[in-house]
């Protein structure tokens, strides 16, 4: 199983991502209203979806870790959190870069953007908690608790921010309008791009998880070496 993943994932990701890049830059037609910049959308949206999927993974792995106690689940949660944080950062970077030329402003407090910002803060808290509690079993448990509470909180946060926004007059037209993908080529590009980022997520998750597993193995060997010098 390990060998298969090791071999297949990088190449699958490479193929999918290369195809996606080709489609985004060459295949897909330019949006009539937003121009070339709209192409950022084809990376921005899959990244956004994947960062929430990543947090879901953190939560699921956290529950499994607290329930079963197997270290592997803790590693999955940790890896997923790092990658989710990376993707979240990319969403928050590409979003404003896209927004500035299209809407004239770097940032709006619209519901989705704000929720993503709070998600970023929760990721940051998770990773800091990990780093401040070390590699002990206890630290893993703390992180798991945060993962579960965070995941339950995200929908509530989203709802509250959404209600908050719909009270004030909208600063700009909401982004709902721009996801009207009439053209089939645009839909295909988005779909393939999503596949590419899904594979990228799995590959990074795999690499980081291996990384953590090797780290655990080193620790175990070190402890053994101390006992039999």
Partner 1 sequence: MFALIRKDLQIEFRTKETLAALLLLGLLTLVVLSFAFDPTSELRAEAAPGALWVAVIFAGVLGLSRSFLAERDNDCLHGLLLCPVDRGTIYLAKTAANVLFMMAAQAVIVPIFVFFFNLPLSAALGGVVLSLALGILGFASIGTLFAAIAVRTRAREVMLPLLLVPLAVPIFIAGVRVTGRVLAGKPLAEVAEWLNLMLGFDVIFLVVGWLVFEYAVEE
Partner 2 sequence: MTNLNFLFAAYTAVWVLLFLYILVLSRHNRSLEKEIQELRDLLQRSRTP
Judging by beta carbons within 10 Å of its beta carbon (0-12, 13-18, 19+), is residue 135 exposed, middle or buried?
middle
**Distance in angstroms between the alpha carbons of the first and the last residue of the chain:** 35
CB 51 within 8 A of CB 91: yes
Burial label, 74 (beta-carbon count in 10 A; 0-12, 13-18, 19+): buried
- Look at residue 34 and give its three-state secondary structure: coil
63 binds partner 2 (CB under 8 A): no
Using CA of residue 117, residue 75, residue 204, residue 190, what is the dihedral sign? negative
Does 101 help bind partner 2 (rule: CB under 8 A)? yes
Quick one: which of 152, 173, 218, 220 contacts partner 1 (CB under 8 A)? 152
* Helix (H) or strand (E) run with residue 152 in it: helix 137-167
182 interface partner picked from partner 1, partner 2, none, CB below 5 to 8 A per type: none
Tokens for 175? 């982004």
Q: Which is nearer to partner 1, 15 or 121 (CB)?
A: 121
* Token couple for 155: 């929908």
121 binds partner 1 (CB under 8 A): yes
Among 40, 48, 81, 113, binds partner 2 (CB under 8 A): 40
Instruction: Work out whether 99 is an interface residue with partner 1 (CB under 8 A).
Output: no
Q: Which one of 4, 167, 182, 226 is in contact with partner 1 (CB under 8 A)?
A: 167
The continuous run of DSSP H or E covering 166 comes out as helix 137-167
Q: Which of 16, 23, 44, 51 binds partner 2 (CB under 8 A)?
A: 44
Q: What are 35's two structure tokens?
A: 């121009």
Question: Which residues 183-212 are close enough to bind partner 2 by CB under 8 A?
Answer: 200, 204, 207-208, 210-211
- Pick left, alpha or beta for residue 108 (phi over 0 → left; psi -120 to 50 → alpha; otherwise beta): beta
107 forms part of the interface with partner 1 (CB under 8 A): no
Residue 107's binding partner among partner 1, partner 2, none (Cβ under 5 to 8 angstroms by kind) is none
Q: Does 130 bind partner 2 (CB under 8 A)?
A: no
Using CB under 8 A, list all residues that contact partner 1. Answer: 66, 118, 121-122, 124-125, 128-129, 132-134, 138-139, 141-142, 144-146, 148-150, 152-153, 156-157, 159-161, 163-164, 167
Give residues in contact with partner 2 (CB under 8 A).
Answer: 35-37, 39-40, 43-44, 47, 86, 89-90, 93-94, 97-98, 100-101, 200, 204, 207-208, 210-211, 214-215, 217-218, 221-222, 224-225, 228-229
């Amino acid at each position: 199983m390990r060998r298969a993943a090791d071999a297949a994932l990088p190449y699958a990701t490479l193929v999918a991502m290369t195809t996606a890049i080709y489609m985004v830059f060459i295949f897909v037609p330019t949006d009539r209203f937003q121009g070339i910049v709209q192409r950022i959308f084809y990376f921005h949206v899959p990244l956004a979806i994947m960062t929430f999927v990543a947090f879901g993974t953190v939560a699921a792995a956290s529950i499994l870790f607290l329930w079963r106690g197997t270290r592997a689940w803790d590693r999955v949660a940790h890896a997923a959190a790092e990658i989710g944080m990376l993707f979240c950062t990319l969403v928050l970077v590409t979003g404003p870069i896209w927004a500035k030329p299209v809407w004239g402003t770097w940032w709006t407090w619209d519901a989705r953007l704000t929720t993503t910002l709070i998600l970023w803060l929760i990721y940051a808290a998770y990773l800091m908690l990990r780093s401040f509690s070390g590699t002990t079993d206890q630290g893993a448990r703390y992180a798991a608790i945060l993962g579960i509470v965070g995941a339950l909180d995200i929908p509530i946060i989203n709802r509250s921010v959404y209600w908050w926004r719909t009270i004030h007059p909208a600063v700009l037209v909401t982004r709902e309008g721009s996801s009207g993908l009439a053209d089939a080529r645009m839909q295909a590009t988005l779909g393939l791009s999503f596949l590419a980022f899904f594979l990228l997520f799995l590959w990074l998750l795999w690499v980081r998880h291996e990384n953590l597993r090797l780290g655990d193995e080193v620790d175990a060997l070190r402890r053994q070496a101390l006992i039999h010098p």
